[in-house]
Amino acid sequence: MKRTRNYHLMAATALLAFAIVSSFIACTSHSTDAAGSGVGTDEELRYDALQIKGQWADIVDEAAKHPIQSQACHKVLRLAQYRLGQAGNEAIMDCLSNSRDVLSSETAALMMSDVYIQLSMVNMSQRAAFEALVTTNSPETRTRALQRLTETALITSQYEVARKYIAILEEEGRVSKWLKDIKSLAEHPERIDQHPVYRQLRQNHEKVEDQFFL
């Protein structure tokens, strides 16, 4: 009963910031060309490219044409259905279930990191990104994972950790406007409370029981 109540609280909290967070994450995901670069099935590569671009209707169409094999792709489908108004809060619960088994490949882990951060589940997003980082040999996947880990470190007030990730990105030549902006936040963490997305994610993170796995 307690876990059920926690799930409903997580869903309600996630819904509060869903639109602004999801639109922002789509922008930051475009800051590298990492879509489809990690190791995964062809299905996972297709769904990852679609979810990064926010092509929710195309995800639903893809699922209608071809039965889904990957658990991560199924989670992305449920997120798409929610975004399109084709499913209710139960879709969010589906996205959060079986979080250990769903990280079956680098691409699956990156997709789920995006899904979790959109639902304000910062620790779960961090865990998924870390799984992708430690298993990849792809520079693009590595950059995308490091970007997400930098974001989650800032949201959870681990500023020194965030600065270390930023230093790694700089050393690897991944210079971008995103990196310049995120470095400014790491050097002046008080500004996070004025950031429209990171502020909301931090507030949501403090409200709910955000575990590394559910």
**Does a structural domain hold residue 149?**
yes
Domain count, the chain: 1
Domain that holds residue 141: 2-207
pTM of the entire predicted model: 0.84
Domain of 113, CATH number, reads: 1.25.40
**Does a structural domain hold residue 189?**
yes
Angle separating helix axes 159-171 and 177-187, nearest 10 degrees: 150
Q: What is the DSSP string of 62-83?
A: HHHHS----HHHHHHHHHHHHH
Kindly state the average pLDDT of the residues 59-70.
97
- Greatest C-alpha distance within the chain: 49
**Does a structural domain hold residue 213?**
no
Query: Band of the pLDDT at 21, cuts 50, 70, 90?
Result: low
Q: Which two three-digit tokens encode residue 126? A: 């961090």
Percent of the chain with pLDDT over 90: 67
**Does a structural domain hold residue 179?**
yes
**Does a structural domain hold residue 214?**
no
Q: Which two three-digit tokens encode residue 213? A: 């796995």
Q: Are 2 and 201 in contact (CB under 8 A)?
A: no
**Does a structural domain hold residue 212?**
no
